[in-house]
Amino acid sequence: MNKLMTKRKNIETARMKRWFIGVKGNDGLLIRTLIYGLLIGIGFVYLFPVIYMVSFSFKSLEDLLNPLVNWIPSTLHLENFKQAYQVLDFFPTLFQTLYVTILPALAQTAVAALVGYGFARFSFRLKNFLFVLVMVTFIIPPQVTLIPRYLVYSELNLLGNIQAFLLPATFGQGLNSAIFILIFYQFFRSIPKTLEEAALLDGAGHFRIFFTIAIPMAVPAIIISFLFSFVWYWNETYLAAIFFGDQLTTLPLELQKFAASYQRMFPAGMEESASQLNEGIRLAGTVLSILPLLIVYFITQKWFVEGVDRSGITGE
Amino acid sequence: MAKVLKKRPKPSIAYLFIAPWIIGFIAFTAFPLLYSLYLSFHKVSLTTEGIKTNYVSFENFQYAFTVDGVFMNYLIVFFRELLISVPIIIVFSLIIALLLNQKIRLRGLFRTIFFLPVIIASGPVLKELQDMGVTTIPSIEEVFIYSLASDNADQFIFGILLYVLDNIIMILWYSGVQILIFLAVLQKIDRQIYEAAMIDGASTWEIFWKVTLPSIFPMIVVNTIYTIVAYSIFSLNPIIEHIKVQMFELDTGFGYASALSWVYFVIIGLILILVFVIMNSQSKKRYAS
């Protein structure tokens, strides 16, 4: 009898403990406060530069110099954006950026689907070897292949031409192509073989099966690949600067030479002090250059998050 | 039935599917790799008639290691930063993933925030932020520096801490993909294993070390490799900037830049192999069952 009492008492204390500290570390009040505290704190550190950027981009020179104006500008000073807009040459640059990112991203996605399907649905000689080779290309720094590519492009007059990005992408050697091939490989492996066999029985060829059965099923993988590819090409400035020279430009490239362009457009000492490049104008330029990406991200962020889930590197 | 068997995937068709990649690999990866190796032993000059190469044996490499102090210096700095940043990024992203893996509200919002830098952090954007000094939280830094300076701590550790504090946001911003990879694998661990462990009386702490960590270990390796690769080819990396500068320098040029890129490639390759071998042997030693 006594034993039963102590047992019950133990259960009681355990329940109290569970309520306060929790069992698996996720039920208790204390732990939960700690988790939320940490997440919010780290989240703030993450967003700090973005908040700073947006806040300062609206500050006039007076606000920037006034130590009392901290986070919230006294007036919404749109002049920064107007100047940054002119310096970046915003819309023409944006269209060029879209041109040199969307086309390679599309080509890269298409070829990754094709190659991923080939690896996922067939068995052939050297398959494992070739697949390992695909993965190995991920670790080759682009700088090593950059110089020969540059020389060949200059021989073929492809410098300053979108082909410098488009050609490698079309043949599965674009930015991080290995990852996209892996995504499609994992995706197509999960489609049941019976579908394919039924289609074969009906007399469909392999390419027909690919286009009429596999591709419509792979829409999620296609969207994920395209979005990642798009963002990576957008943010690529090292190769873009070398391959495109002065012929083509992108928003990140324009941001890179923002200060120089500004000096050219608004020479110092010409007008009153408003024409001095300050932090506010530079940050307005930064905000403008990432604005299109932010819009894309907030519409499609589910796909990005799922994309990592589905990339298949976590294994099935 | 026989007809179906005959129509089984023929290897020749498979090659048609992967042919674009094979062609691309030869034209845009294998050939450039070999060609840049070839160039690295030459002095290359661009003339109106085309590319001219002069065989110079190991001169380029010799120059890189003996005369070009800048390159060596960058390599050492790169190596040190890699050694500090990669473990921090891995541990940090694992912690965030573990936090997000709890039953919490707004998980989607937090994931969106932590992944945001992957979208916007291009080289020029980070450069702007660095110039403005926004890659660190000023108040945190001050507190830490004062408390550390008064502690007259070890100079070496102090240096590391200072670097971390100076670049805290940069380091955090590199973790977006890794967090999501860890989160994805954490969510795939079978709940029943946890329940079984708890019935056996294991504490949360023990469960983490004995159940969670072993089951995500392969992803720690993957994330480490990913982090090293991403870090080494990021456009703010001074080494790749140096390679670019040398490309268009008259007295060094493409040949020397090729040599540098190969040295860099081999070093990264060695680091990756080393990391892979060490982590693999560790996992075998510790988690062999």
Cα–Cα dist A300/B111, whole Å: 13
Q: Options 3.30.2310.20, 3.40.50.10470, 1.10.3720.10, 3.40.50.150; which CATH number does A82-310 get?
A: 1.10.3720.10
Confidence of residue A166 (pLDDT cuts 50, 70, 90): very high
Confidence of residue B167 (pLDDT cuts 50, 70, 90): confident
Partner residue facing B122 (CB), from A115, A172, A235: A235
A181-204 as b/e: b if 16+ CB within 10 A: bbbbbbbbeebeeeebeebbeeeb
Closest CA to B176 of A253, A179, A301, A143: A301
More confident residue, A70 or B205: B205
Segment 167-206 of chain B within 8 Å of chain A by CB: 168-169, 172-173, 177, 180-181, 184-185, 188, 194, 198, 204
Q: And the tokens for A8?
A: 């019950």
A168 contact residues in B (CB cutoff 8 A): 24, 28
- CA B263: distance to chain centroid? 17
Partner residue facing B124 (CB), from A145, A206, A237: A237
More confident residue, A255 or B168: A255
Q: What is the pLDDT of residues B274-288, one digit of tens each?
A: 999 998 888 777 665
Query: Cβ B204–A147 below 8 Å, yes or no?
Result: no
What number of other Cβ atoms are within 10 A of residue A302's Cβ? 12
More confident residue, B229 or B136: B229
Confidence of residue B4 (pLDDT cuts 50, 70, 90): very low
Percent over 70 (pLDDT), chain B: 88
More confident residue, B12 or A1: B12
Query: Cβ B32–A283 below 8 Å, yes or no?
Result: no
Closest CA to B51 of B33, B65, B36: B36
* Cα angle A138-A141-A147, degrees, rounded to a multiple of 5: 130
Task: Say if residue B8's pLDDT is above 50.
Answer: yes
Q: And the tokens for A305?
A: 């998050």
Average model confidence (pLDDT) for chain A? 84
- Cβ contact A107:A177 at 8 Å: no
Confidence of residue B141 (pLDDT cuts 50, 70, 90): low
B14 contact residues in A (CB cutoff 8 A): 118, 121-124, 127
Q: Does B30 touch chain A (CB under 8 A)?
A: no
Cα–Cα dist A215/A217, whole Å: 5
- Cβ contact B208:B102 at 8 Å: no
Domain residue spans in chain A?
A: 13-77, 82-310
Cα–Cα dist B124/A257, whole Å: 9
More confident residue, A275 or B77: B77
Closest CA to B179 of B93, B88, B85, B87: B93
Q: What is the pLDDT of residues B213-224, one digit of tens each?
A: 888 888 899 899
Structure ipTM:
0.85
Task: Say if residue B150's pLDDT is above 60.
Answer: no
